[in-house]
Amino acid sequence: MAIIGKIREKSWLILVLVGGALLAFILGDWQKISGGMEDQYGLGLVYGEKVNPEDYQNAYNIADLNADRQAQQTGQPKQPVDETAVWNSFVQDIVLNKEMDALGILVSQAEFDAYLYGEDGFPVMPDLAQNFIDSITGQFSPKLLQARIEDMKSSDDVNIQKQWEESEKYYIDRRKKEKYFAILEQGTYVTKLESKEEYAGQKEVKNISFVLRRYSEINNEDIKVDDDKLLAYFEENKGNRKYENRYSTREVKYLDIKIAPSKKDSTTFDKMIGQIKTDLATSTNDSIYVMKNSDMRFYTSGPYSTAVPESHPNAKQHLNYPNYMDSVFENAQLGQVIGPYQANGAYNVAKVIGFTRDTINARHILLQVPEGKDAAVKATADSILKVINHDNFAEFVKKYSTDTGSAAKDGELGDFFFSQMVQPFATYCADEPIGKIGQVRSQFGIHIIEVLDRKGPNHPRLAVVQKQLKPSTETLEKIEKEAYDLLYTMDSKLSKEADGYKRVELFDTLSMDKGYFTRPVTIQETSPRLFGFNTTLAEDKILELAFSEESKVGDLVNSPIKDKDRYVIGIVSSIKIKGETNFEDVKQIVRNDYIQDQKAKRLMAQMMNAKSLNDLTKSGKATVQQAEVVFANPQITGAGFEPEVVGSIFSGLKDGQMSKPLQGKQGVYVVRIDKTMKAPAASNYNVERDQMLSTNKARVKSEATKALVEQADVIDNRRFHNIGLRR
Contacts of 79 by beta carbon, 8 Å cutoff, 6+ apart? 67, 70, 71
Output the CA–CA distances (angstroms, integers) from residue 551 to 41, 500, 630, in the order listed. 19, 11, 52
CA gyration radius, the chain:
36
Domain locations in the chain as residue ranges: 2-34, 54-170, 205-237+588-677, 245-260+472-580, 266-467
Amino acid occupying residue 265 = D
pLDDT digits (tens, 9 = 90+) for 277-329: 999 999 999 999 999 999 988 899 899 999 999 999 888 888 899 999 999 99
Instruction: Give the side-chain half-sphere CA count within 13 A for 296.
Output: 19
pLDDT digits (tens, 9 = 90+) for 633-687: 999 999 999 999 999 999 989 999 999 999 999 999 999 999 999 999 999 999 9
d(CA 44, CA 38): 13
d(CA 386, CA 186): 65
Q: Where are the alpha helices (DSSP H) in 360-516?
A: 374-387, 393-400, 404-407, 423-431, 473-494, 500-513
d(CA 76, CA 317): 8
Report pLDDT for 356. 93
d(CA 484, CA 409): 69
d(CA 92, CA 709): 7
d(CA 30, CA 35): 8
Report pLDDT for 106. 95
- Could you say which DSSP state residue 135 is in? T
* Four-CA torsion 532, 516, 502, 538, nearest 10 degrees: 30
If 0-12 CB within 10 Å is exposed, 13-18 middle and 19+ buried, where does residue 163 land?
Answer: middle
Whether domain 266-467 has CATH 3.30.2350.10: no
Report pLDDT for 22. 40
Count CB-CB contacts under 10 A for residue 390.
Answer: 11
Instruction: Name beta bridge partners: 337.
Output: 351
d(CA 362, CA 397): 13
pLDDT digits (tens, 9 = 90+) for 116-161: 999 999 999 988 888 888 877 888 899 999 999 999 999 988 888 9
Whether domain 245-260+472-580 has CATH 2.30.29: no
Report pLDDT for 38. 61
If 0-12 CB within 10 Å is exposed, 13-18 middle and 19+ buried, where does residue 666 land?
Answer: middle
Output the CA–CA distances (angstroms, integers) from residue 501 to 238, 575, 580, 584, 589, in the order listed. 20, 11, 17, 8, 16
Report pLDDT for 68. 87
Residue 86 near residue 60 (C-beta atoms within 8 A)? yes
If 0-12 CB within 10 Å is exposed, 13-18 middle and 19+ buried, where does residue 572 land?
Answer: buried
| Common-topology check for domains 245-260+472-580 and 266-467 | yes
Q: Which residues of the chain have pLDDT under 50?
A: 1-36
Report how many helices (DSSP H) and strands (DSSP E) the chain contains, helices first: 24, 20
Greatest distance between any 2 Cα atoms in the chain = 119
Residue 696 near residue 231 (C-beta atoms within 8 A)? no
